[in-house]
Structure 1
Amino acid sequence: MEHSLFPTENKLRFYIERLIYGIVIAMPLQPMVGDVLLWIAIVAAIIDLLRRGRLSLPTGYLSWSVMFFVVWTGLTALLSEHWQWSLMSWFYQIVAGGGMYYLVRTYITTPKQWKYFIQCMLGTAFLVCVIGIYQYIFVPNMHMKEWVDAAQFPKLKRRMASTLMNPNLLGAYLLMILSVVISYILVYVKVPQGMDAQANQRRQDALMMIPIFAILFVTMLLTYSRGIWISFCAMILYWAIFVERRLFWSLLAVPLILYCYEGEIASRLWSIFQGQDTSTDLRWALWDSTLYIVRAHPIFGIGWNTFFLVYPDYNYYIQGPHILMYHAHNLYLNILAEAGVLGLVSFLGVLFGHVYTSIRLQGDIFRQAAQIGVGALVVAVLVSGLSDFELYSHQVTIVFWQLIGLVGAFGKVHFNTK
């Protein structure tokens, strides 16, 4: 039986764990490879469940909140006027995200696995940044006209997109990774030296994370995404309030850049307060049109990922059925439009449920850093969601569910063993 095509239960869990690490590495770099690994892992997990005879309803309010969001969005997709497309999109986006959450929560449950998981995530983010820097220097931006109002920002010739294929999506991905990196740095560096070998190792880990933070931060700046910059400032405020008050001083960098520096970063920062470019005008009109969709479909919405199919009927700003707008550029309005009020409430319930669980975690500084990190992640998602809907991206969505699943794993282990 050692060489059987059907591995033992322990071997199957071993393979699933390795597949999860593979997904963490592959999804930001090459989503097609990541998807193949994801569905292999999901099928293997179903086989594992059937073998153990534990095919049952979710346990705990965190799993129930995720399950309700998945089921509700599936129901809205089924009731959609464009139900075939919506169901396919729901399966590709929501079911895959829920599956990713289940995989991490169920199979990444020990401190050693958590460490490998985070190492894979940080190493991949570093590689994404290296690829982005290479593209920024040597590869012409073919989509700059789509990304920037050239009349408003004549000096801005490049924006970094890397393997996420869009500067805003790259920025959202980096925000999620930075929520982990900076939270662990802030907690680990506070550990007094000479306590014990493990504490000293934590400090060494923090020092090793600082160069990774630096390259992630510079790459995030070079996306020139104003919404991402605002979200990062919100994360700094969060860390300054709950972790390290001295971080308030770092916010002085914004007025200093505006006053002393005349480059592209300053012009983009000034534009936040001016709001005179076509991107801002388009968003206001887009949000207004989306509100008409919400009023017409308040309960079940129009179906997941059908915004671009329905929006032309409500688009008063630029008339014409040929105008494609794939999402509402606002997380709250987009989910309201596509999944109704319960869809948005259930999604927010997932976020705040995991924040509440993280607050209740007790244990070593690894878990303390996780508490801070999930709060920063939620701040990043909710603030960036005011001006964009980056979770429209399959890559960003899967990374989001990976991190939420890790919090679920912390809570599952903590409260099951308490």
Structure 2
Amino acid sequence: MYWLGMVVVYDKASLQRFFQLFTFMSVILAAHTLFQSVTGTILLASERVDTFLSRTDVAYYQMASTDTRRIGSFFIDPNWNGAFFALAFFLPLGLFVASSSVWQKLSYLLALVLILLALLCTYSTGAWIALLMGLIVFLVFIGSVASRILFLLVGCGLAVLVFFLFPEQIALQMQHASANNELSLRIAAWQTALLVTQAYPWFGVGLGHQAYLIRSNMYRVPEQFVVLSHPHNSYLEWAAMAGIPVLCIFLVLIGIALQQSCLNWRRAEPAVKPLIGAGIASTITLSINSFSINGWTHFALALIIWPILGAVASPLLRTPDGEAKNG
């Protein structure tokens, strides 16, 4: 998927089309998330999904002491759904900054609002934290001073819109973030994964959630009061399931890709910088979110982020003399 992203992007126009396709997909998923939040129905859901969501231990991921349900949409789990919208947010944001047409800016602004509303329905604390960190990264890579000012104005406007129109949802988000067992259970899961990694440092317990579910139980710390099939951390997941060498290879791959992306950004024309910066911010956002969930190691999220990273790291964006193409 990383290679595919590199070969389909070769100039500004192709990078724009690539991000536009992802934005269109994100808007559809955001609309479905909002639809599910209103109706409680997942479109095209199989009988297996309906059975899973009707279980008492899942209960649509209902928030404690409320009637509010965290929405997972096609990702089922709201944390995965939130991780997707957090990384996808930067693609229309980059298109918004890079575009010169008024109607295109309005279209991308509408996409940003829909994605933010969908993210709000997930009540994913990790996704919101990652999004805020990603916004700082995007501010660095946005390009010109004028673009930074425009970004700050749009960002403040969206923040005010969300806070004033959805105060109840914001309050529930804060309640969920401060719940007693949220952070403590995550830390306990990480401690268990570290013990598993210490016991199996070279090759791990084997790839797959069933292998981890069975073999990690004997190393489970008392604070982890439930048995988990993964450590809710992509980096610890690689180390515990596949071994420390595989984790190191994984980190090197991401580091090289980000290095190539930064090289493209430095050599790019001003109109291309926001697009490359958006891809870098998306990657950093999922990387931060992957400390609290299995983001990089999720089968769907990985297939989404790798072509985005490949697109902004594509050597085809650079001409033989080292200058970036401007389309």
The answer to whether the superposition gives a TM-score over 0.5 is: yes
Tell me the C-alpha RMSD between the 2 structures.
Answer: 3.3
Describe the SS at the equivalent of 1:389. coil
Q: Aligned to 2:89, what secondary structure does the other structure show?
A: helix
Q: CA–CA distance in 2 between the matches of 1:319 and 1:357?
A: 40
Say which of 117, 122, 128 aligns to 1:223: 122
Quote how far apart the aligned CAs of 1:271 are.
4.5
Given candidates 77, 80, 83, the residue that maps to 1:172 is 83
1:353 Cα deviation (Å)? 2.0
| Residue of structure 2 equivalent to 1:133 | 34
- Matched residue, 2:72: 161
Contact map agreement 2:22 2:91 (CA 8 A) in 1: no
Bigger RCO (CA 8 Å, 6+ sep): 2
1:144–1:158 CA contact under 8 A, matched in 2:
no
| CA deviation map 1:206-228 (0-9, x unaligned) | 33211011101110111111111
Q: Evaluate the alpha carbon distance shift between residue 220 and residue 340 of structure 1 in structure 2; reply closer, same or farther with a 3 A threshold.
A: same
Measure, in 2, the Cα distance between the counterparts of 1:104 and 1:372.
Answer: 16
**Residue 257 of structure 1: how far off its partner (Å):** 5.3
CA change 1:290–1:169 in 2 (3 A) is: same
**Could you tell me which of 105, 109, 112 is aligned with 1:210?**
109
Q: How many residues align?
A: 299
User: What's the counterpart of residue 414 of structure 1?
Assistant: 318
Query: Using the alignment, how far apart are the partners of 1:214 and 1:379 within structure 2?
Result: 21
Shift of 1:156: 4.5
Cα deviation digits, residues 188-215 of structure 1 (max 9, x gap): 4xxxxxxxxxxx44x5533321101110
Matches of residues 72-83 of structure 1 in structure 2 within 5 Å? none
Q: Which moved more, 1:203-212 or 1:226-235?
A: 203-212
The secondary structure found in structure 2 opposite 1:214 is helix
Equivalence for 2:229: 326
Distance 1:357 1:294, change over 3 A: same
Relative to structure 1, the CA distance from residue 208 to residue 158 in structure 2 (aligned partners, 3 Å threshold; closer, same or farther) is same
Q: Is 1:344 matched up with 2:218?
A: no
Q: 1:131 to 1:261 in 2, by over 3 A?
A: closer
- 1:113 Cα shift? 3.7
Per the alignment, do residues 368 and 265 of structure 1 end up closer, same or farther by CA in structure 2, a change over 3 Å counting?
same
Equivalent position amino acid for 1:391 in 2:
W
Decide whether aligned partners of structure 1 residues 209 and 297 sit closer, same or farther in structure 2, where only a CA change above 3 A counts. Answer: same
2:283 to 354, 358, 378: 378
Q: Gaps (5+ residues) in structure 2? A: 42-52, 143-147, 323-327
Corresponding position of 2:131: 232
Partner of 1:315: 220
1:325 alignment partner AA: L
8 Å contact kept, 2:193–2:216? yes
The SS at the match of 1:390 is coil
What is the Cα deviation at residue 356 of structure 1?
Answer: 2.0
Deviations 1:135-156 (A, max 9, x none): 2211266468537886x73124
Q: Max radius of gyration: which structure?
A: 1
**Runs of 4 or more consecutive aligned structure 1 residues displaced over 6 Å after TM superposition:** 147-150
Counterparts of 1:88-103 in structure 2, within 5 Å, are 100-103=1-4
8 Å Cα contact 1:104/1:402 also seen in 2: yes
Share of identical aligned residues, percent? 19
Q: Say whether residues 1:146 and 2:58 are aligned partners.
A: yes
Change (3 A) 1:402 1:149: closer
The secondary structure found in structure 2 opposite 1:227 is helix
- Measure how far apart 1:269 and its partner are: 1.6
Name the TM-score, length of structure 2 as normaliser: 0.78
Q: Which segments of 5 or more consecutive residues in structure 1 lack a partner in the other structure?
A: 1-99, 189-199
